[in-house]
Amino acid sequence: MIVKFLSVTSILLVNYVVKTSVSSPSLKQVDRSLHVRSLPPINGIQSNIYEVYMEPYGFELGPILASAVIRPNGGNLSGGKQDAANVGIKVKGELLLRQTHPPHGPVQIVGNITGLPPGLHGFHVHQFGDIREGCTSCGEHFNPFMVPHAGKNDPIRHVGDLGNILADAEGKAEVNVMDSYLTLKHGPRSIIGRAIVIHELADDLGRGHTAQSVQSGSSGKRLACGIIAHVN
Q: C-alpha angle 130/136/137, rounded to 5°? A: 30
- Count of all residues that appear for the chain in the document: 232
d(CA 232, CA 98): 10
Residue tagged active-site, from 104, 149, 157, 189:
149
| Shortest reach from residue 24's CB to Cu ion, in Å | 50
Give catalytic status of residue 121 as yes or no.
no
Q: Does 158 bind Zn ion (CB under 5 A)?
A: yes
Give catalytic status of residue 141 as yes or no.
yes
CA count, 13 A, side-chain hemisphere, 106: 10
Q: Does 194 bind Zn ion (CB under 5 A)?
A: no
Residue 194 touches which of Zn ion, Cu ion, none (CB < 5 to 8 A by kind)? none
- Give 61: exposed, middle or buried? Use CB within 10 Å, 0-12, 13-18, 19+: exposed
Residue 179 touches which of Cu ion, Zn ion, none (CB < 5 to 8 A by kind)? none
Which residue among 107, 165, 182, 197 contacts Cu ion (CB under 5 A)? 197
Q: Which is nearer to Cu ion, 190 or 219 (CB)?
A: 219
Binding mask 161-180 for Zn ion (x = CB under 5 A): x-------------------
Residues numbered 109-138 forming contacts with Cu ion, rule: CB under 5 A: 124
| Shortest reach from residue 211's CB to Cu ion, in Å | 16
Give catalytic status of residue 35 as yes or no.
no
CB closest to Cu ion, residue no: 124
Q: Which is nearer to Cu ion, 173 or 197 (CB)?
A: 197
Q: How many residues bind Cu ion (CB under 5 A)?
A: 2
Q: Does 185 bind Cu ion (CB under 5 A)?
A: no
Give catalytic status of residue 158 as yes or no.
yes
Give catalytic status of residue 199 as yes or no.
yes
Give catalytic status of residue 222 as yes or no.
yes
Q: Which of these ranges, 6-14, 26-34, 70-78, 194-202, lies near Cu ion under the rule CB under 5 A?
A: 194-202
Pairing between β-strand 173-179 and β-strand 195-199 as defined by DSSP bridges: unpaired
d(CA 55, CA 105): 14
Contact residues for Cu ion, defined by CB under 5 A: 124, 197
Q: Which residues are catalytic?
A: 124, 126, 141, 149, 158, 161, 199, 222
